[in-house]
Structure 1
Amino acid sequence: MEARNTPEARKTLASRKTLVLGIGNILWGDEGFGVRAVEEFHRAYALPEDVIVMDGGTQGLYLVQFVADADRLLVFDAIDYGLAPGTLKIVRDGEVPKFTGAKKMSLHQTGFQEVLSAADLLGRYPDELALVGCQPLDLENWGGALTDPVRAALAPAIDAAVAILRAWGVPVAPRDGAAVPGLLAHDIDFAAYERRAV
């Protein structure tokens, strides 16, 4: 982590790279919250070219290269905080790994905590992190849609992300209403999949 704090490694705000990442498995009901949140965020807001908006799904360690390349990282995810379903909780910086390691849906799925650890071992850990986490209601509904409380949390989660990005100095502008390519294809985007799953 310290390598990023040397004078040579410091960058101007304008040149810093930002990654907005949604993680989770859309096939397990509320576990798909992170992917659906980043998808809706992408539809609603335009960002500068140095900001990558990405569906990370369940790619695990394949995400290390993207995380290691980011100066600032904002993550959407379903996190079991032990709160009421649909409750949002935002954690930052050093607190993020503690929460991202809280759940794994299967033995083959690498927790995002390991992704952060790998980036740290490479000496390329993001300078700033924020996690917008949502308490799930149901993580075992195979093929199911988001539950009502988690679906209702999408808009507030996106608002929270916009506030975080703007506080980081990232220009975020509402889209003008023109159609934009989705992050997901093959009928697994939010609208098509949820229609089938309900």
Structure 2
Amino acid sequence: MEGAARILVAGVGDVFFGDDGFGAEVVRRLAGVRRAGVDVVDFGVRGGELAGALRRGYDLAVIVDAAVRGRVPGTITVVEVDQPRADLPGSDLPDWGGAGPARGVDPVGVLRRAAELGGVPDRVVVVCCEPAAVGAGVPGGSSGEELSAPVRAAVGPAVRLVLGIIAEGAGPEGAA
């Protein structure tokens, strides 16, 4: 690798709706990451801003979110996303095995929008956590700001997982 890869770590979700704040908590803990070319951003529920950011020349994007996949609460799943292309609307977007946003931002929709706007990074990885409680109107949900115990316990392992993905994608520490 000739230079350091540009990497975006994007937390998504609504901190006011229980476990949907998982992505925000992971990026909060990653905020101290200081490595050339790595941007760590909490996009919250601003999917349009995330779609725009994905077009800014990153080599790798890591999206961190709560996603309902029918697993045990707190289960972390890593999904490699095939490259979406605007010239094949919808046909190349992945089936994430039932993954869907807990609330708010729809990662597939954001990727589709970014592709329509002119492109996404060569590699996109979604780190999902199965929520237990994601907000009012959702079975088992609440409108509180607290993560449930199983999701809170998954934050540390998710941080380490994202750090590993960053290290793998960034190349040698001394790359310029």
Residues 1-198 of structure 1 aligned to structure 2 (within 5 Å)? 12=1, 14-43=3-32, 45-48=33-36, 50-69=37-56, 70-94=58-82, 98-99=95-96, 102-103=100-101, 105=103, 109-140=104-135, 141-170=142-171
Contact 2:67-2:99 within 8 A present in 1 as well: no
How far did 1:22 drift?
Answer: 0.3
How many residue pairs get aligned? The number is 156
Distance in 1, Cα, partners of 2:147 & 2:116: 35
Whether the 8 Å CA contact 1:101–1:111 is kept in 2: the answer is no
CA RMSD of aligned residues (A): 2.3
What one-letter code is carried by the residue in structure 1 that aligns with 2:151?
Answer: V
Deviates more, 1:25-34 or 1:119-128: 119-128
Relative to structure 1, the CA distance from residue 84 to residue 125 in structure 2 (aligned partners, 3 Å threshold; closer, same or farther) is same
1:137 & 1:104 partners in 2: Cα distance? 10
Q: Quickly say closer, same or farther: Cα 1:110–1:26, change in 2 above 3 A.
A: closer
Answer 1 or 2: higher relative contact order, Cα 8 Å, separation at least 6. 2
C-alpha distance in 2, partners of 1:101/1:89?
10
More helix per residue: 1 or 2? 1
When residues 13 and 147 of structure 1 are mapped into structure 2, their CA distance, relative to the original with a 3 A threshold, is farther
- Please tell me whether Structure 1 or Structure 2 has the larger radius of gyration of its CA atoms: 1
Once the two structures are superposed, residues 93-147 of structure 1 have per-residue CA deviations (whole angstroms, 9 ceiling, x without a partner) of: 2298544972362xxx452222211221233221011111100000121123001
Distance 1:63 1:90, change over 3 A: same
CA apart distance, 1:16: 3.4
C-alpha distance in 2 between matches for 1:85 and 1:101: 13
User: Whole-Å Cα distance in 2 between the matches of residues 134 and 61 of structure 1?
Assistant: 22
Alignment match, 2:88: none
User: In structure 2, what residue type is equivalent to 1:40?
Assistant: R
Cα deviations by residue, 1:3-45 (Å, 9 ceiling, x for unpaired) = xxxxxxxxx55253210110000000000000111111114x3
TM-superposed CA distance for 1:63, in Å, is 1.9
Structure 1 unaligned blocks of 5 or more:
1-11, 173-198
Does the Cα contact within 8 Å between 1:86 and 1:149 map onto a contact in 2? yes
The aligned amino acid for 2:143 is W
Q: Please identify runs of 4+ aligned residues in structure 1 that moved more than 3 A.
A: 95-101
